Homo-oligomer: A and B are copies of this chain.
Amino acid sequence: MSLFNTNRICGLLGVKYPFIEGGMAWVGTPRLAAAVSEAGGLGTIGSGALTPEDLAESIDTTRRQTNKPFAVNVMLLNPSADRQVEVCLQKAIPVLIFGAGNPAKYLPDLKKRGIVTAAVVASETLALYLEERGIDVIIGEGMECGGHVGTVTTFTLIPALKDVLFSVPVVAAGGIADERGIKAAFCLGAEGVQIGTRLIATVECEAHDRYKQRIITSGIRDTLLTGQALGHPARVLKSAFAKRVCKLEASDPKEAESLITGSLRKAFEDGDEERGLFMAGQSAGLIQSIPSVSELFELWAQRLDGWNQIAGTETKIAENLKEGVYERSGNL
């Protein structure tokens, strides 16, 4: 597809399409990651709810389902983050995507080993700081996204990142559910997109059917933020339970926290609407189908074909990361 021949994200990550799976705790299983990678994007293991041992096992499981590259998302609020990074190094994961914090301390070592690093940010200041410390990719995530949110929207964040960064490519996340959002993201300056909610509503996602049904029947205004009063706002689908949690946050924060704990697992595994919190973005309102990941990517590729907006500066095609070779040959 001509659009992506000179795309820096494709070159850096060794993928056909610059479509990255968002890091999603519970949802980001080996099966989904493998499906995304097999379909030409970059699958991502969501490690937020995994012990280092579980993570090692997930990586092995994914490798039984795909030879293509996939990433691990390391959630920096996880106390085991250091050990998870260790597991990734032992397992020669080619791409690490960091979220929910500042990964600067890991970068010198990862760079030496030729591992591609990305960070999910909601702040242009953190982005610049990380560029100065060698991050390879900045993923700007707008607050319309599902899960933990910042304060600025995709529409304003992406251009702001392009305005401050010198050369690191930007990937847009938050609100992207179809080729319209992909085009728009490129117009704002992104060279790739990260997809979350749209991938939950797929055949290969292992979330409970009720989770997928909730997404496809939701409108764009059917989300709310839990955890605002507790300091960790997260976007979930509206429900009686979600509203109850919000009410409790002001009056009984301890009770609210205990309700939030384990609520994503309940949504993912059991489709439990009484006690589950269904993380999803506002783009749930743009999603009305449950295709396979490959159907989805092929549809987008078709609709993007021939569209001649190529974002960013002229770049040389970076050498693809080859299977089994995790040394990055030369810089962009």
Contact = CB atoms under 8 A, between A and B. Distances in A.
Interface string A166-190: 0000000011111011011101110
A152 B282 contact: yes
Interface string A203-234: 00000000000000001110000000000000
Contacts of A123: 221
A248 to B, nearest CB: 16
Q: How many copies does the complex hold?
A: 2
A interface, size bucket: 35 or more
Most buried by B among A151, A154, A155, A174: A155
B188 A282 contact: no
A323 interface: no
A114 interface: no
A215 to B, nearest CB: 13
Most buried by B among A160, A219, A220: A220
A153 interface: yes
B189 A175 contact: no
A282 B180 contact: no
A181 to B, nearest CB: 7
Contact of A159 (B180, B185, B281): B180
Most buried by B among A124, A153, A160, A175: A153
A157 interface: yes
A156 B220 contact: yes
Interface in A285-307: 285-286, 307
Contacts of A21: none
A180 B163 CA distance: 12
A151 B143 CA distance: 11
18 contacts: A125-B219, A152-B221, A153-B153, A153-B155, A153-B174, A153-B282, A155-B155, A155-B174, A155-B184, A156-B220, A159-B286, A160-B219, A160-B220, A160-B286, A180-B188, A183-B187, A307-B309, A308-B308
Interface of A: 123-125, 142-144, 151-157, 159-160, 162-163, 174-178, 180-181, 183-185, 187-189, 219-221, 281-283, 285-286, 307-309
